[in-house]
Amino acid sequence: MSVNGTVTEYVPGGPASGNQSLTQLSKPVVTVVSQGNPVPAPVTISSRSVPDAYAPEGDPAAGGSINGLALKPRTYALDYYESLEAPTSGSAPRAWSAPPTRTPSCGSR
């Protein structure tokens, strides 16, 4: 596939909400250039790979937002998940539960 578009950050509730930004591709143009290609093995997400700390303290100079901070995927769970936006990912066998969302995620199947 060839995908062209504009990569932007969207903050649900607006920048002053303190919510984590979401990366999105605006006005994508998708072209299939070949089919049947092998894909990389998925990254396995397990309790051992996800850090215990959820997120860093927000930057006081940015109104408590964490959006401008450097990602630390080995330290914070939220940063770990952010680092997996592009790769194919899977999970070790377990029950998962999360609140419903109206925001489609990148790479969802």
Give the model confidence (pLDDT) of 75-102 as tens digits: 999 889 888 876 555 555 555 544 444 4
pTM for the whole thing?
Answer: 0.56
27 three-class SS? strand
pLDDT exceeds cutoff 80 at 104: no
Instruction: Determine what percent of the chain is predicted with pLDDT higher than 70.
Output: 77
pLDDT of residue 59: 84
CA nearest 43: which of 97, 72, 83, 75? 83
Given a contact cutoff of 8 angstroms between Cβ atoms, the answer to whether 89 and 96 are in contact is: no
Q: What is the rounded CA–CA span in Å between residue 17 and residue 14?
A: 6
User: Which are the contacts of 7, defined by CB distance < 8 A and separation ≥ 6?
Assistant: 23, 24, 25, 26
